[in-house]
Amino acid sequence: MRNLGFLMLFWCFSAAAFAQPEAFHQAIKLMGSGFEITAIHENPVLARKAIDAGIGEIRRIERLISSWDESSQTSAINRNAGIQPVEVDDELYQLIRRSLKVSGITDGAFDISFAAIEKLYQFNGSETTLPPSEEVARSVAKINYRNIVLNPDKHTVFLKEPGMRIGFGAIGKGYAANRARAVMQDMGISNGLVNASGDLICWGKQEDGRDWGIAIADPDDKMKAIAWLPIGEGAVVTSGDYEKFLMSDGKRYAHIIDPRTGYPTTGIKSVTIVCPDAELADALATSVFVLGREKGLALINQLKGIECLIITEENKLLSSKNLQLQYE
């Protein structure tokens, strides 16, 4: 019996030694968008468990930051605009604090209080006109990140003006992707990928041991790649006007609002940001849309370790100084 035990133990060890890492994928709708999660591991049970944990984490974050869910802390902040400060969890408090930091470095191009104007637009392709200018003026007056008041001692958030609102549409998916990766890594997944419908973070290597590389989609044909980005590890986040946009007078507007004017942006089809952090990449991709080509590239060129690719409405590719694109 003892010998048999030894043999079985040996068999287990040798089976483990020969097991090859395999990629396990899950596509799922979360935060109103399509997510794809990949875990690469020799143990399928662990890989599946880690994917489920990643999904659980994204759902948890959605409950915290959703401005549509009346019971979320974000909705409580919005309901109390101009009335009183609202005490929130540290996680939400810190996300708002980081959002305000991005507003600072982008000179207000990124502003979570853009949400005061959200209801004036649908961006589902059906609109044919811009909203009336008086309505835009009324709502844009409520957008100002400086009126989002944080109290670090009480952990409260206060929107100073009645009618103000905040929304995390331009940063939440990036944050969720970061967090899903963290949860999966903690469970022992050292190679994987989370794609939050274009906000992507990858770590470790691919199933076959090669570095991760990302295809940049042709804005006119999402199934076609126009270039490749060898990234190794980190985030590649693309904001595009392919799905959500508005056409008026033959002009195409993206679903990103310029907080200074209250009108959606024009001139850029897509912005891709490469950076170690998916949340920052997400926020910066949105910011570059608002800042436009020159100011956007100038900002990215100042930031160490962050690169950018812009596809203009004339299909011109503009990239930051150190972006390494491959066309083969």
Contact between 204 and ligand ADP per CB under 6 A: no
Q: Which is nearer to ligand ADP, 73 or 99 (CB)?
A: 99
Q: Which residues pair with 29 in a beta bridge?
A: 34
Rg from Cα positions in the chain: 22
Q: Which is nearer to ligand ADP, 51 or 288 (CB)?
A: 288
Region from 26-34, 89-97, 155-163, 168-176 binding Mg ion, contact rule CB under 5 A: 168-176
Instruction: Using alpha carbons, select from 228, 211, 234, 236 the residue that is nearest to residue 325.
Output: 228
Residue 320 CB-density burial (10 A; 0-12 exposed, 13-18 middle, 19+ buried): buried
229: tokens are 């980005």
User: What residue 112 binds from ligand ADP, Mg ion, none (CB within 5 to 8 A, per partner kind)?
Assistant: ligand ADP
CB of 177 to Mg ion, least distance (A): 11
Burial 48-73 (b: 16+ CB within 10 A, else e): ebbbebbbebbeebbebbbbeeeebb
Contact between 175 and ligand ADP per CB under 6 A: no
Q: What's the gap between Cα 274 and its chain centre? A: 12
Region from 3-11, 105-113, 153-161, 185-193 binding ligand ADP, contact rule CB under 6 A: 105-113
Query: Which of 77, 148, 194, 256: binder of ligand ADP (CB under 6 A)?
Result: 256
Q: Which is nearer to Mg ion, 229 or 271 (CB)?
A: 271
> Rounded distance, CA 212 to CA 226, Å?
17
User: What residue 189 binds from Mg ion, ligand ADP, none (CB within 5 to 8 A, per partner kind)?
Assistant: none
Query: Which of 111, 277, 279, 307: binder of ligand ADP (CB under 6 A)?
Result: 111
Number of shown-chain residues binding Mg ion (CB under 5 A): 5
Q: Which is nearer to Mg ion, 21 or 62 (CB)?
A: 62
> Rounded distance, CA 91 to CA 279, Å?
14
Confirm if 317 and 227 have CB atoms less than 8 A apart: yes
Contact between 286 and Mg ion per CB under 5 A: yes
Number of shown-chain residues binding ligand ADP (CB under 6 A): 19
- The 8-class DSSP code of residue 130 comes to P
Q: Which is nearer to Mg ion, 136 or 254 (CB)?
A: 254
- Among positions 114-143, residues that touch ligand ADP (CB under 6 A) are 114
Instruction: Using alpha carbons, select from 215, 209, 234, 228 the residue that is nearest to residue 40.
Output: 209
Contact letters for ligand ADP, residues 262-291 (x by CB under 6 A): --------------------x--xx---x-
> Rounded distance, CA 69 to CA 60, Å?
12
> Which residue of the chain is nearest ligand ADP when measured via CB?
169
Planar angle of CA 159, 89, 176, nearest 5 degrees: 95
Contact between 257 and ligand ADP per CB under 6 A: yes
Contact between 169 and ligand ADP per CB under 6 A: yes
Q: Which is nearer to ligand ADP, 38 or 238 (CB)?
A: 238
Q: Which is nearer to ligand ADP, 43 or 312 (CB)?
A: 312
> Rounded distance, CA 88 to CA 73, Å?
7
C-alpha distances out from residue 328 to 42, 197, 228, 274, Å: 31, 24, 7, 19
> Rounded distance, CA 17 to CA 8, Å?
14
Q: Which residues bind ligand ADP (CB under 6 A)?
A: 110-112, 114, 167, 169-170, 198-199, 239-240, 255-257, 259, 282, 285-286, 290
Q: Which residues bind Mg ion (CB under 5 A)?
A: 170, 239, 282, 285-286
